[in-house]
Amino acid sequence: MVRTRVGYAGGSTPAPTYHDLGDHMETIQVDYDPDRLGYRRLLEVFWGSHNPWRRPWSRQYASAVFYHDDEQRRLARADMERLERSHDRRLDTELLFLERFYLAEGYHQKYRLQGSAYFMAEFRRLYPQHTGAALLSSTLAARLNGYLGGHGDPRLLARELPEMGLAPAAARRLWETVAMRHPGTSPACPLPLEAGG
């Protein structure tokens, strides 16, 4: 993923906010490089990250796939039909054309990253003048938020860590955080980090 943003979509209420959502749903917008990550893989993550059969207790938390074009619609519909056949049960997930995405308030963006004083201090060090904008648009914010939220495995982090630009101590701490969730992974950071960093 290149970047992520949380927000609201799927309704007709103009200018929704968290406290005045109207008929919109809470949603996430994902920008991705199709040469590195295909739409089918995004759908796999979507289906695997929640229960698409569970009826939501409110519109705000409904399950939905928002598509941008006919190909995305076709792939999502095929996935939905396959899941319904294999479980002999109808999904409680909507398939909707994305008419408009409304950005959620700043305090909702990169929730896991913003909840970590340590990594937010490191993020501010890297983006001292534009921290708020970087939370919305930087790949680093999306990646850190994902790892801190328990997504991503040590093999992927080992490839990405050298390019993140984190201070040695922050890189080591991120590695330890991810390694702790994956039994059998060495807690020692795979990068040659300078002493005392």
pLDDT value at position 73? 97
- Inter-CA distances, 94 with 62, 140, 148, Å: 8, 31, 29
pLDDT value at position 193? 55
pLDDT value at position 195? 42
Q: Please check whether residue 175 is in contact with residue 148, taking contact to mean a CB–CB distance below 8 angstroms.
A: no
pLDDT value at position 194? 52
Strands across the sheet with 25-31, in order?
Answer: 25-31, 3-9, 102-103
Q: pLDDT digit of tens for each residue in the chain (197 aa)? A: 789 999 999 999 999 999 999 999 999 999 988 888 889 999 998 998 888 988 988 999 999 999 999 999 999 999 999 999 999 999 999 999 999 999 999 999 999 999 999 999 999 999 998 888 898 999 999 999 999 998 888 988 999 999 999 999 999 999 999 998 888 888 777 776 554 44
pLDDT value at position 152? 84
- Inter-CA distances, 123 with 15, 29, 130, 143, 175, Å: 30, 21, 10, 12, 16
Q: How many Cβ atoms from other residues are within 10 Å of residue 66's Cβ?
A: 20
pLDDT value at position 196? 42
Rounded distance, CA 43 to CA 46, Å? 5
- Could you please state the CATH topology (level 3) that the domain comprising 3-103 is classified under: Peptide Methionine Sulfoxide Reductase; Chain A (3.30.1060)
pLDDT value at position 197? 44
Rounded distance, CA 166 to CA 181, Å? 20
> According to CATH, where is 3.30.1060.10 located in the chain?
3-103
pLDDT value at position 186? 80
pLDDT value at position 37? 85
**Residue 27 φ then ψ, to 5°:** -150, 175
